[in-house]
């Protein structure tokens, strides 16, 4: 852990910002949501301090889904895109060296997963998983394939908007975030019961990546900007604060 990241307890989760466990239009939440009120337990030392990841655990192509599953000299099919952004905590402090993992369907809307049943074909050169560490400014960057929407067995004609799943560890387990990124302008966002389980429109807006032409690679990739905010700690930090104090 870096010196400036040690310190106070994490702020409580904002329950009204996150979706409720029971969202009846999201069918599977009806059976799996708890019936009793949630209990808040104090976090433990290991939840406040672990985990720590090093660069040695990240492979050279882990951030590059266009190539990380492809045969030598080949690349995945579909629109090539760059997805990037900053990871910060609630007080705006960048989170460096944070593990960011993503997984997604391919350009036809199909996952490489044993339980996948959608008729769209697999791409032999696309695995659909990637990971990277944020840099010293909290910036992350992936290159991948634009995923397609796909149908799912929720209602008679339910489709997920195009999305990329994200998992972030932050600098401690208490900051763990698993979420989904959507694409600006997708008309399926407002039809999706998973998205619409989130009670506040401004919270939904934080899950929508923006087209970022300044970061696009000419004649190669469009770019999408997606920033993420993890829980903050309840004290002010100073760059000259030494670890453990
Ligand atoms: Fe998905």
**In contact, 20 and 194? CB cutoff 8 Å:** no
Question: What pLDDT is attached to residue 237?
Answer: 44
Report which DSSP code applies to 31: H
What pLDDT, on a 0 to 100 scale, did the predictor assign at position 241?
A: 43
For the chain of 245 residues, list the mean pLDDT of each consecutive stretch of 10.
54 84 94 89 82 77 98 98 96 92 98 95 98 96 98 95 96 91 98 95 96 98 97 60 41
Q: Which residues are catalytic?
A: 111, 150, 160, 163, 165
Residue with structure tokens 């004290």?
235
* Ligand 1 centroid – CA 187 distance (Å): 17
Q: What is the pLDDT of residue 184?
A: 98
Cα 115 to middle of ligand 1, angstroms: 13
The set of residues, in sequence order, having a beta carbon less than 8 Å from that of 218 and lying 6+ positions away, is none
Q: Which domains does the chain have, with CATH numbers?
A: 21-31+44-230 (2.60.130.10)
Which residues are CB-contacts of 66 (< 8 A; sequence separation ≥ 6)?
75, 76, 80, 143, 144, 145
Per-residue model confidence (pLDDT) at position 5: 44
Find the 163 Cα to ligand 1 centroid distance in Å.
Answer: 6
Strands 150-152 and 208-211: unpaired
């Amino acid at each position: 852990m870096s010196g400036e990241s040690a310190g106070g307890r994490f702020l409580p989760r904002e329950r009204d910002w996150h979706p409720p466990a029971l969202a009846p239009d999201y069918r599977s939440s009806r059976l799996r949501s708890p019936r009793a009120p949630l209990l808040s337990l104090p976090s433990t030392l290991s939840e406040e301090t672990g985990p720590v990841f090093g660069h040695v655990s990240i492979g050279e192509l882990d951030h590059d889904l266009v190539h990380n599953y492809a045969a030598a000299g080949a690349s995945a099919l579909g629109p090539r895109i760059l997805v990037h952004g900053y990871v910060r905590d609630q007080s705006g402090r960048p989170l460096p060296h944070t593990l960011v993992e993503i997984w997604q369907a391919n350009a036809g809307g199909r996952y490489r997963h044993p339980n996948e049943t959608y008729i769209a074909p697999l791409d032999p050169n696309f695995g659909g998983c990637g990971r990277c560490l944020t840099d010293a400014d909290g910036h992350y960057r992936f290159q991948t394939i634009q995923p397609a929407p796909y149908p799912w067995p929720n209602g008679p004609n339910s489709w997920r908007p195009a999305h990329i799943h994200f998992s972030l560890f932050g600098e401690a387990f208490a900051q763990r975030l698993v979420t989904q990124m959507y694409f600006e302008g997708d008309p399926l966002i407002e039809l999706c019961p998973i998205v619409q389980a989130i009670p506040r429109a401004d919270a939904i807006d934080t899950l929508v990546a923006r087209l970022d032409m300044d970061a696009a690679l000419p004649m190669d990739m469009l770019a999408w900007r997606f920033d993420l905010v993890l829980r903050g700690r309840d004290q002010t930090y100073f760059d000259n604060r030494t670890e453990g104090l």
